[in-house]
A = this chain, B = another copy of it.
């Protein structure tokens, strides 16, 4: 646990920004313009990963991207699966961009055998009962959890037992997981709420209800 967590998050995003840079070199000031984070912060983040820049020309885009990627362990290819193939889950099935970023979509699972037969998919689909075995056998470390809220916790526990260590959860509940397992919640209503709260907090008209 060497790089501060906020820096890690920014560095992950920085990769995406670097991928959109046309020039060979980029300065921290330019990165500030593209990201909104102060150039100071960006330089400090980058210094965490021990980059050696070409100084007065800025950072070499390609080198920097590789250094970040390596230092965060993103050069490792990891297997993942999609669980729950409703509208949302099946939307991801056909998104082709995962491989390019080092993530191999190994399988899709759904409790409805009918749905599995009907869907067209570039990756194999399986009924839910085969999930534990396949997770173990194919070394699936990560999962996109796209099942309905009422089965999410149950499914979650079973895949963790089978070996999954990281979950992106789209179900609108807080999953209870062991500390060793990482979860990121992507719940659109919470995002709307967070934005709504930000709008409210930013509106000058809503002066603090002066507590104490």
Give A78's nearest chain B residue, CB to CB: B196
Q: For residue A1, which residues in chain B have a CB less than 8 angstroms away from its CB?
A: 201-202
Copy number in this complex?
Answer: 2
A17 interfacial contact with B, CB 8 Å:
yes
A87 interfacial contact with B, CB 8 Å:
yes
CB within 8 Å of B: which A82-105 residues: 86-88, 90-92, 94-95, 97-98, 101-103
Q: Which of B90, B167, B189, B197 contacts A8 (CB 8 A)?
A: B197
- Find out whether the CB atom of A168 lies under 8 angstroms from the CB atom of B195: yes
- Find out whether the CB atom of A72 lies under 8 angstroms from the CB atom of B197: yes
CB within 8 Å of B: which A16-45 residues: 16-17, 20, 33-36
A186–B92 alpha-carbon span in the complex (Å): 13
- Find out whether the CB atom of A73 lies under 8 angstroms from the CB atom of B201: yes
* Extra A-B contacts (10), CB below 8 Å, given A20-B174, A141-B199, A142-B192: A2-B201, A8-B194, A17-B174, A33-B176, A49-B211, A50-B211, A50-B212, A76-B200, A87-B87, A87-B91
A166 interfacial contact with B, CB 8 Å:
yes
Q: For residue A15, which residues in chain B have a CB less than 8 angstroms away from its CB?
A: 193
A12 interfacial contact with B, CB 8 Å:
yes
A16–B174 alpha-carbon span in the complex (Å): 8
Question: Would A168 and B141 be within 8 Å (CB), given that A74-B197, A88-B91 are in contact?
Answer: no
- What is the distance, in angstroms, from A189's C-beta to the closest C-beta of chain B? 5
